[in-house]
A and B are shown apart, each in its own frame.
Chain A
């Protein structure tokens, strides 16, 4: 199988009027067909920004100063005032936004949102077909069908998060960028959501996923490769097992050693986290495992 997405030399800057914020600084990543790329890293390191650039939804004040995106062999220039074909958004790359809870319109019932998304893509689709697809996936995710009739505020945090996953995958995009899709879910619901994403890959509803999360144990179960970001750069990337068991870059080491899992020793010891490390060591050159 070939390469699905090849994003090269991406630089994204927020023009704030006062001081520009370089949120993504010359980042290149690649997703192979059928693969899940896990994207982890420090809070504020540029993961969401990178995701929105790759999903072609970057808007001012975010400016893509440089970069190219190749999907299915088609190359798209991203920098400057490059024109991006409308048809790529949503159906080629779809972004499942962070803070899902807030990204869905509070005044519309879920069924209405489903219909909106489906219709925006296919004018001729019938309401029944659209809702059937949604109903199927709602059930697959272990949600009660009543959520279709609910307004967002009537759903719990984790329910909203799953509803957003369903909505952003309704169009079967080639690449899904999922930004923290499981941060509000208990482990059992996480497992179900991940199984659904993998199933969708298996069935070729989608061809690849970029999975942004702080939850490294979850990444270990779902990702083929992991890339770790720190201050706008990818500091290390490689196959999941290697990244988890033998990280090389000082920041990756700091990150991996701070993960808390329910083992007896963790209820007794104190882990120093970030303050136990010398931040200057994180400026070390990137380590890219092939």
Chain B
């Protein structure tokens, strides 16, 4: 086990305007596994991610990373080297005045000069981009291109834990599969642990070793992918799965 989340709670606001965004949530992340969180919009998925990253004060609960209590960690430099994030919104998480090259340069420095350049090329390759993108400014990129730069930046660090919040929502189906394949490859070759937040059950099914389901701030179901997706127990999970649109009515496409 690499991460232990115990009784995590987040309450926003107070009095009448109080929102219990995350309500007594507990789960573990197994090292070298891909865990996904699915659940309805507003159920608290991003709030969980932000607390794990130390970007949001915790109302109550404890976080343990590699046996160490990180709930109220002060100096996070080393932690963030091991725990990387790709955020839900690729439009706001960029400094608009930096070229992509400059943006990635920082991660490159952390990795070290020689290895850095190689990692840079490798990571851009992982997300289907070439070096030409380095001279561009974020506003010169399409939504999916920005999202891919974010993923490349996180992968460059070869984190022990990658937290990806709707990280592939703006990618076309073929590119998306490629990136999911990269994540499984890195899990297998480097033992990378991934917490992958998505509303897309299809992606969760393809990618995940374990699935966690959230509803209204609570974790209502968790377990191995096959169990949660193909024999769900909680009423909410069942409802969520029933609503998933299918691409094909009857006809199946043959694989090339």
Residue positions of A touching B, CB distance < 8 A: 14, 16, 18, 21, 40-45, 48, 98-99, 101-103, 146, 154-159, 180, 183-191, 214-218, 220-221, 244-246, 253-264, 266-267, 270-277
How long is the Cα–Cα vector from A221 to B246 in the complex, in angstroms?
9
User: Which residues from B are CB-within-8-Å of A157?
Assistant: 41, 46, 88-89, 166
Contact partner of A260 (CB less than 8 A), chosen from B89, B128, B202, B225, is: B202
Query: Separation in Å of the B25 CB from the closest CB of chain A?
Result: 16
How long is the Cα–Cα vector from A266 to B255 in the complex, in angstroms?
13
Task: Given A184-B169, A185-B199, A267-B205, decide whether A258 and B92 contact each other with a Cβ distance below 8 A.
Answer: no
Q: Would you call A102 and B89 a contact (CB within 8 A)?
A: yes
User: Which residues from A are CB-within-8-Å of B226?
Assistant: 264, 267
Give 3 closest A-B pairs by Cβ, nearest first: A158-B41, A43-B144, A273-B177
User: Which residues from B are CB-within-8-Å of A45?
Assistant: 172
Task: Say which size band chain B's interface belongs to.
Answer: 35 or more
Q: Would you call A274 and B12 a contact (CB within 8 A)?
A: no
**Which chain B residue shows the least CB distance to A158?**
B41
**Which chain A residue shows the least CB distance to B255?**
A257
**Beyond known contacts A216-B247, A273-B174: 10 more, CB 8 A cutoff:** A18-B135, A43-B143, A101-B92, A156-B46, A186-B240, A191-B243, A216-B173, A256-B247, A258-B172, A261-B244
Query: Separation in Å of the A266 CB from the closest CB of chain B?
Result: 5
Q: What sequence of 0s and 1s flags, for each residue 177-209 of chain B, a beta carbon within 8 Å of any chain A beta carbon?
A: 110010000000000000000011111111000
User: Which residues from A are CB-within-8-Å of B159?
Assistant: none
Task: Given A253-B256, A259-B202, A261-B247, decide whether A48 and B143 contact each other with a Cβ distance below 8 A.
Answer: yes
Residue B253, interface by CB 8 Å: yes
User: Which residues from B are CB-within-8-Å of A261?
Assistant: 202, 205, 244, 246-247
User: Which residues from B are CB-within-8-Å of A258?
Assistant: 172-174, 176-177
Between A and B, 25 residue pairs with Cβ closer than 8 Å are A16-B140, A48-B142, A99-B91, A101-B91, A154-B12, A156-B41, A157-B88, A159-B42, A184-B166, A185-B199, A186-B38, A187-B199, A187-B243, A217-B244, A220-B246, A245-B253, A256-B173, A258-B177, A259-B247, A260-B205, A261-B247, A262-B201, A262-B229, A273-B174, A277-B256
**Which chain A residue shows the least CB distance to B239?**
A188
How long is the Cα–Cα vector from A156 to B47 in the complex, in angstroms?
9
User: Which residues from B are CB-within-8-Å of A187?
Assistant: 199, 201, 240, 243-245
Residue B1, interface by CB 8 Å: no
Residue B53, interface by CB 8 Å: no
Q: Would you call A184 and B41 a contact (CB within 8 A)?
A: yes
Q: Would you call B172 and A40 a contact (CB within 8 A)?
A: yes
Q: What sequence of 0s and 1s flags, for each residue 87-98 of chain B, a beta carbon within 8 Å of any chain A beta carbon?
A: 011111000000
Query: Separation in Å of the B112 CB from the closest CB of chain A?
Result: 29
User: Which residues from A are CB-within-8-Å of B200?
Assistant: 215, 260
User: Which residues from A are CB-within-8-Å of B240?
Assistant: 186-188
How long is the Cα–Cα vector from A154 to B18 in the complex, in angstroms?
12
Query: Separation in Å of the A257 CB from the closest CB of chain B?
Result: 5
How long is the Cα–Cα vector from A275 to B144 in the complex, in angstroms?
17
How long is the Cα–Cα vector from A18 to B10 in the complex, in angstroms?
48
How long is the Cα–Cα vector from A266 to B241 in the complex, in angstroms?
15
How long is the Cα–Cα vector from A254 to B175 in the complex, in angstroms?
10
Residue B148, interface by CB 8 Å: yes
Residue B5, interface by CB 8 Å: no
Q: Would you call B39 and A186 a contact (CB within 8 A)?
A: yes
